Amino acid sequence: MRRQWVLLTVLAFAAVAFSRSSRSSSRAETTVAELEGAFRQPAKNGWTFVHLQGTPHQIGFQNGYLLAPEIEDALKVTILEQTHDSKKDWQFFRDAAQNMMWPHIEQEYREELQGITDGVHARGLKVDLWDVVALNAAEEWSYYVKEYDGEHGIKTASRAVPEHCSAFVATGSYTKDGRVVIAHNNWTNYLDGERWTIIFDIVPAKGNRMLMDGLPGVIHSADDFVMNAKGIIITETTIGHFYGYDPAGIPEFVRARKAAQYSASIDDFTRIMKEGNNGGYANTWLIADIGKNEIGRLELGLKNVTLERKTDGYFVGSNFPISETLIREETDFAPHDMSESSNARHLRWEQLMAKNKGKIDLAAAQRFLADHYDTFEKKEDPDERTLDGHIDLSPRGDGDWQPPFGMAGAVQNKATDASLAANMSLVAAAGHACGTDFKAVDHVRAHPEFSWQKDLQRDMDAYPWTTFAAAK
């Protein structure tokens, strides 16, 4: 029924086109062929489920066609944020996408990116290829801008690399059934978070099927919660206060997508992410292999890379760097400042892991992501130091204090365990896991310094946890 709805809609467009001219009919027939097997479901508890399948160009075309209005909207947000933060115009990023990134993108993903562009065009909207590439690279631009400004002697206007996300993965004696449990919440600006609500089910002609969350028009998850049909589950949190970028490397969004699509082991994932590493969106990656009941942590700096693995234990992430060498050579992070969000959340993860050893399951993961305990204040207080981040509610948001990474929070949440992942399934909660709604008008009134966002800012309501699975 769901597929029929999409196909009937497409056929209706085709019929109209046929009545106008044979040329239009040919275009409509091409559109129907490109959309073969793809469909979009009506929104469910804040999420939109989209199934994509076929060749790289088909997958891209389906993404672009089924999500065209959302892609146009997401692009407006990306343009606003990137130009505001960097004080550079959008053409700067389009030029970098074309001249710096495109030469290092392999053909498979070039075809998919072109397919997204073609799909949007087929809906009559004006977005071009370099817009699409720049949208996909949104998480990398702050790294590139800092490097570019430094090389050109420009006093950079770009903010510090944002802190994104809280996450954990556990197995063995730490989980209730001895098998993998993994969870992640996405910290980003509310402006992005309101739109970070797509569940992609992708069946490529080559490689593994993938189920992941993402933004409209991206080929990767971007906040990185993804599983594949080989039983590999991947998530991450950014390395806080990181600097460094290699413009001759492969864009992070390409490597992240390739690793999700072609990994059958933790070693595969590590190899693909290291090959052509450009330092963009430098993350601490948490990986699980449910077949081996093995978990890993890959701290992927530009110069320093460390892989750890366990079959009994846990790894946690909240934007804190681990390697002392990496901290010294590639960050300006303060590891002993416990008022720092990354460190406060790290301590909270350690407390929760110890307290819940042997009891961690999907329900526990959901509680963790809604946690409001501030370890620096030693009390319940939803703010920038809690796992369910609420920078907008922090008392440090009053007066002249400027949030170091914008007005952000934990905008959505995902979790899965070995049983669900074996069936390509996950649970997700759009909005704050604690159930607090974010209201745009109240936000701008309380923080007029962010009034530049108001034309695109909208409410972000909290929804219940909802199960999603790859289509049958």
Q: Is the pLDDT of residue 22 over 70?
A: no
Higher-pLDDT residue of 71 and 447 is: 71
Q: Please give the average per-residue pLDDT across 333-351, as a whole number.
A: 96
Query: How far, in Å, CA of 121 to CA of 277, rounded?
Result: 32
Inter-CA distances, 167 with 139, 223, 287, 318, 322, Å: 18, 11, 11, 7, 15
What pLDDT, on the 0 to 100 scale, is given for residue 160? 63
What value, to the nearest 5°, has the Cα angle with vertex 273 and ends 146 and 389?
60
d(CA 333, CA 342): 10
Amino acid at 34: E
- Separation between Cα atoms, residue 138 and residue 102, nearest integer Å: 15
Tell whether the model's pLDDT for residue 24 goes beyond 80: no
pLDDT of residue 407: 59
Phi, psi of 387 (to 5 degrees): -60, -40
Query: What value does the mean pLDDT take over residues 341-367?
Result: 97
pLDDT of residue 447: 83
Going by C-alpha positions, the residue among 38, 45, 341 that lies closest to residue 187 is 341
Residue 18 confidence class, pLDDT cut points 50, 70, 90: very low
CA distance 116 to 202: 14
Nearest to 113 by CA among 33, 218, 261: 218
Q: Give me the mean pLDDT over the 337-357 stretch.
A: 97
Measured in degrees and rounded to the nearest 5, phi and psi for residue 416 equal: -155, 170
pLDDT at 14: 44
CB atoms within 10 A of CB 13: 17
445 to each of 40, 106, 392, how far by Cα in Å?
Answer: 36, 46, 12
Task: Give CA–CA dist 463/436, Å, rounded.
Answer: 9
The pLDDT, as a whole number, for residue 31 is: 87
Distance, in Å, from the CA atom of 100 to the CA atom of 51, rounded to the nearest integer, reads 31
DSSP 8-state class, residue 360:
B
Separation in Å, CA 8 to CA 3, 4, 35: 8, 6, 12
Q: Which of 45-54, 65-74, 154-163, 345-354 has the lowest mean pLDDT?
A: 154-163
Contact 318, 286 (CB under 8 A): no
443 in Cβ contact with 190 (< 8 Å): yes
pLDDT at 96 over 80: yes
Contact 118, 61 (CB under 8 A): yes
Q: How far apart are CA 138 and CA 93, in angstroms?
A: 9
Whole-number Å distance between alpha carbons of 139 and 242? 13
Closest CA to 47 of 233, 207, 174, 212: 212
pLDDT for residue 68 is more than 70: yes
Q: Token match 């409509």: residue? A: 28
Pick the CATH number of 166-245+277-466 from 1.10.3720.10, 1.10.150.120, 3.40.190.10, 3.60.60.20: 3.60.60.20
**Predicted confidence band at 397 (pLDDT cuts at 50, 70, 90)?**
low
> Do 71 and 217 touch, CB atoms closer than 8 A?
yes
Examine the pLDDT at 4 and tell me if it is beyond 60: no
Average of per-residue pLDDT values in the chain: 92
Query: What's the pLDDT at 392?
Result: 81
Q: Check: CB of residue 238 under 8 Å from CB of residue 92.
A: no
Identify the weakest region by mean pLDDT among 25-29, 106-110, 350-354, 427-431.
25-29
- What's the pTM? 0.93
- Alpha helix segments (H runs only) across 35-128: 56-66, 68-86, 90-96, 107-122
**Half-sphere exposure of 421 toward its Cβ, with a 13 Å CA cutoff?**
28
pLDDT at 139 over 70: yes
Q: How far is Cα 318 from Cα 164, in angstroms, rounded to an integer?
A: 8
- In order, the DSSP letters of 171-224 are EGGGBSSSS-EEEEEEEEEHHHHTT--EEEEEEESSS--EEEEE-TT-SS-SS-
Q: Where are the domain boundaries for CATH 3.60.60.20 in the chain? A: 166-245+277-466
